[in-house]
Chains A and B, each alone.
Chain A
Amino acid sequence: MTVLEAVSLTKRFGPVTAVDGVSFGVGEGEIVGLLGPNGAGKTTTLHMVLGLTTPDSGTVRMFGRDLARHRTWALSRVNFAASYVSLPWVLRVDELLDVFAHMYGLRNPRRQVAEMTELLDLGELRDRRYGQLSSGQQTRVQLAKALLNEPGLLVLDEPTANLDPDVGDRIRELLLREAHRTGRAMLITSHNMPEVERMCSRIHFVSGGRIVATGSAVELAGAYGVDDLEAVFLRVARG
């Protein structure tokens, strides 16, 4: 089953075409990476996929339904976390999760908050304010928020940016474990090539608002005649 289907997405900001006819899909249980240099159009593409930005042309279908027409239905089955997004720093961890459990219309918010608190090992942090936590702890809270509604599609925009290698590794481990446990689909952007190689079964390289290459890490490295994804990235970024 196709969880996400983006068809010919185009977005212009004045004279600049940020995204130019991008099409891709994410299947059930699949982890797809969206890579590219800064300003390539990755985040704009993610924002169109999440209904934050309206495309000038093209469509987004989620779980077989048009996002524009079934926004509430679709977004209650999706969740999102990004390194550049924060959460209200004055709220305690348990209050934050409670708020988002209500925001996603969960039938039993308390139970779901308790489950995520356990899954992300947040028990000791639950009565601490978000603003008092370290970057790694904040990322765990963001992931708990992103998993609250047990989304069919998890969209992560540079989820491990700003984290030290140890914490970053633990987060990747956790995401992979969750993906295998639940069969959840993920769409990830990252500038960490080893992370993408490890996590993503399929990678789309975006440059100048277009998808310029698609494949697994091994396939892409082969196609560009290089050893790893980082070398592919450099080739794409430098034209």
Chain B
Amino acid sequence: MSQLVLDGAAARRRRIASVIRRDFFALRRDPPRMIDMVFWPTAELVLWGLVSMYLQQNRVHIAVAMLLGAVLLWQVLHRAQGEVTFGFLFDVWSRNLLNVFVSPLSTLEYVAGLVLASVVKVTATIGVMSVLAFTLYGFGVLTIGPGLVPFMAVLMIMGWALGIVAIACVIRFGQSAQIVAFILVFVFQPFAAVFYPLSVLPGPVQAVAALVPASHVFEGCAGSWPAAASRGTGWPQPRCSTSGTSRARSPSCSTRSATPGRGASCRSSARRSRRPS
């Protein structure tokens, strides 16, 4: 037996690899899953891109970079949760869970496998979306610079955490709790302030939002998309920069920024510019 089975770290690596291999074999054999990975994010990107285009054409000042950036980053959180949860639900739906849990694979190794597989799949999804955003709207997600890395990391970790919570609900309450897997991330969406500034939320809700890691990411991103993020479409440039300060939330600043053609370098103006007014 000892000659047949590995032990220690090598065995752990192999067991984690089994979950990743299972996930990619399933992906390869199941085209609807592949379409799901790309279709919905793309549909959302195109939809929001067209909305922002329409608003710009009607002289509603809105930063294209803000909106598209928010759509892209939201997908990081959404897909990270979805990929982890649906990796698990795949075993539930195919009545394979018992086979997994009577194997030497530990719970930690199983989750590690799901998380690692999700990294690849989320990266692929975001890659496709980024190329599309650049091609269709001239929006370059990488122009945010190195700040993008921690932002994405926080969103991924939060997505995995929500994915694990959804899995725990299904294990504890049975298959009827699967609905949690589909809605959990959307419960957090209003608090994450994806498409508007936190200041829009009522005071007590802002306090709750402060506990949601994603809200810090989207609030931080708002001040980080450089004007150069969106170009080449003939649309007005987004009026934001990374030099935002708390002082910049003054009414005079927002008034300036709301005037087309006058670039204001303040964060709050950028956030306001994301709201159709």
* 6 additional A-B residue pairs with CB within 8 Å, beyond A86-B96, A107-B3: A52-B101, A79-B102, A85-B95, A98-B25, A103-B100, A104-B103
Per-residue CB contact flags for chain A residues 81-110 toward chain B (1 = under 8 Å, else 0) read 010111111111001001111111111010
Confirm or deny: A217 has a beta carbon within 8 angstroms of a beta carbon on chain B.
Answer: no
Main secondary structure of the interface of B (DSSP, over half): helix
* Residue contact A90 to B29, C-beta cutoff 8 Å: yes
Q: What is the bound-complex CA distance between A106 and B29, given in angstroms?
A: 24
In the complex formed, the residue of A with least CB distance to B90 is A88
Confirm or deny: B36 has a beta carbon within 8 angstroms of a beta carbon on chain A.
Answer: no
Bin the interface of chain B by size: 20 to 34
* Residue contact B102 to A88, C-beta cutoff 8 Å: no
Confirm or deny: B18 has a beta carbon within 8 angstroms of a beta carbon on chain A.
Answer: yes
| Chain B contacts to A: CB under 8 angstroms | 1, 3-7, 10-12, 14-15, 17-19, 21-22, 25-26, 29-30, 90-91, 94-96, 98-106
Query: Could you say which residues of chain B place their CB within 8 Å of the CB of A98?
Result: 21, 25
* Residue contact B94 to A89, C-beta cutoff 8 Å: yes
Given A51-B102, A75-B102, A105-B14, decide whether A88 and B4 contact each other with a Cβ distance below 8 A.
Answer: no
Confirm or deny: A129 has a beta carbon within 8 angstroms of a beta carbon on chain B.
Answer: yes
Q: What is the bound-complex CA distance between A145 and B98, given in angstroms?
A: 13
Q: Within A14-59, which residues are at the interface with B (CB < 8 Å)? A: 50-52
Query: Could you say which residues of chain B place their CB within 8 Å of the CB of A143?
Result: none
Confirm or deny: A80 has a beta carbon within 8 angstroms of a beta carbon on chain B.
Answer: yes
Query: Could you say which residues of chain A place their CB within 8 Å of the CB of B14?
Result: 102, 105-106, 109
Query: Could you say which residues of chain B place their CB within 8 Å of the CB of A103?
Result: 15, 18-19, 100, 103-105
Cβ-neighbour of B22 out of A51, A88, A104, A149 (below 8 A): A88
**9 pairs from A and B in contact (CB 8 Å cutoff):** A52-B98, A72-B106, A91-B29, A95-B21, A100-B18, A102-B14, A105-B7, A105-B14, A105-B15
* Residue contact B1 to A91, C-beta cutoff 8 Å: no
Cβ-neighbour of B6 out of A78, A80, A91, A107 (below 8 A): A107
* Residue contact B5 to A105, C-beta cutoff 8 Å: yes
Given A91-B22, A91-B29, A103-B105, decide whether A150 and B99 contact each other with a Cβ distance below 8 A.
Answer: no
* Residue contact B5 to A102, C-beta cutoff 8 Å: no
Confirm or deny: A190 has a beta carbon within 8 angstroms of a beta carbon on chain B.
Answer: no
Query: Could you say which residues of chain A place their CB within 8 Å of the CB of B94?
Result: 86-90
Q: Within A142-198, which residues are at the interface with B (CB < 8 Å)? A: 145, 149-150, 152, 155
Q: What is the bound-complex CA distance between A109 and B101, given in angstroms?
A: 20
Confirm or deny: A112 has a beta carbon within 8 angstroms of a beta carbon on chain B.
Answer: yes
Confirm or deny: A126 has a beta carbon within 8 angstroms of a beta carbon on chain B.
Answer: no
* Residue contact B96 to A106, C-beta cutoff 8 Å: no
* Residue contact A107 to B29, C-beta cutoff 8 Å: no
Q: What is the bound-complex CA distance between A71 and B90, given in angstroms?
A: 24
Confirm or deny: A76 has a beta carbon within 8 angstroms of a beta carbon on chain B.
Answer: yes
Q: What is the bound-complex CA distance between A73 and B98, given in angstroms?
A: 18
